[in-house]
Amino acid sequence: MKSQRIFLTGASSGIGAATARLLAEKGHRVLLISRDLKSMKSWASTCDENSVLLHEGDVTDAKAMEVAAQKMKDEWGGIDVCIPNAGIGVFSPLEEADISDWHRMIDVNIKGVLNGVHACLDSLLTNKGQVIQIGSVAARNVFPNSGVYCATKHAVLALSESLRIEFRDRLAVTTINPGAVNTAFIDQTTNSELRESYRPQFEKGMDPVFIAEAIVLAIESKGRGVFSEITVRPDNR
Ligand SMILES: NC(=O)c1ccc[n+]([C@@H]2O[C@H](COP(=O)([O-])OP(=O)(O)OC[C@H]3O[C@@H](n4cnc5c(N)ncnc54)[C@H](OP(=O)(O)O)[C@@H]3O)[C@@H](O)[C@H]2O)c1
């Protein structure tokens, strides 16, 4: 397929970094977005320099996402795929939770996704492009100690469905719902007892490259059909 121009948040680590590298290897062009320019530079140094652009920005800042999208329009003439992957999970029993952690999850996982999609939407619709959301098995199920995280991922799935229904002929929409993936994700949990009890489950989880492969499959299938939803779980679960 022709090289796609891809807007990717959360590109400094885990699933986002693995996806950036695989997309560049496949000949696509990717704008990497996160707050950590140093990590993105180190990832980008392994990629063809014509296939990556870097943007230091916070997904909770709508203006910063508009600037990032404009950079793609200026440099590459538009956007074909938006992957608002940045997300955090801060796990805690509801009764002990810090309200600022709830707000942060909503700001990054919901508002951050909306900021990315909104910034890209005009160009995506012009190009009959694609939105690939990173949901979670927590988008369809609710688990203890992660109620607000589950709520944010249910919201992500609802947004995917609304985009799919409203722009049926103009946008492909895919939600990838991973189970546990071995990334730095669990480090966000400040409740140390809970964090260390969950850590082995994440360490035994999938390699982020496996999720990147599902994302590439969703992009490169376009024209033959659309994967609306892909759930990926670790072996034997
Ligand atoms: N790991 C899992 O088991 C798992 C399972 C299901 C779904 N997911 C989802 O997968 C996505 C990626 O998570 P991951 O596992 O790859 O975690 P990760 O390794 O911790 O990566 C999270 C990424 O999000 C970025 N990010 C966080 N807050 C941000 C902000 N305010 N502005 C910009 N970027 C921000 C981080 O960049 P900086 O901090 O450098 O800015 C980092 O690049 C998330 O949406 C997560 O909910 C993960």
Going from N- to C-terminal start, the domains of the chain cover 5-232
Mean pLDDT of 214-222: 96
Question: Could you tell me which of 88, 158, 83, 152 has the C-alpha nearest to residue 119?
Answer: 83
**Amino acid 1: pLDDT:** 83
Q: How confident is the model at residue 173 (pLDDT cuts 50, 70, 90)?
A: very high
Which residue numbers are catalytic? Answer: 149
pTM of the model: 0.98
CB atoms within 10 A of CB 141: 11
Mean pLDDT of 14-19: 97
**Amino acid 146: pLDDT:** 97
According to CATH, the topology of domain 5-232 is Rossmann fold (3.40.50)
Give the helix/strand (H/E) hosting 229.
strand 229-232
CB atoms within 10 A of CB 8: 29
Give me the percent of the chain exceeding a pLDDT of 90: 93
**Amino acid 195: pLDDT:** 97
Tokens of 12: 């400094």
Residue-averaged pLDDT of the chain: 96
The residues, ordered by sequence, that sit 6+ positions from 172 with a Cβ below 8 Å of its Cβ are 128, 129, 130, 131, 222, 226
CB-defined site of ligand 1, < 6 Å: 9-16, 34-36, 58-60, 85-89, 108, 134, 136, 178, 180-181, 183-185, 202, 205
CB atoms within 10 A of CB 199: 13
Q: How confident is the model at residue 237 (pLDDT cuts 50, 70, 90)?
A: low
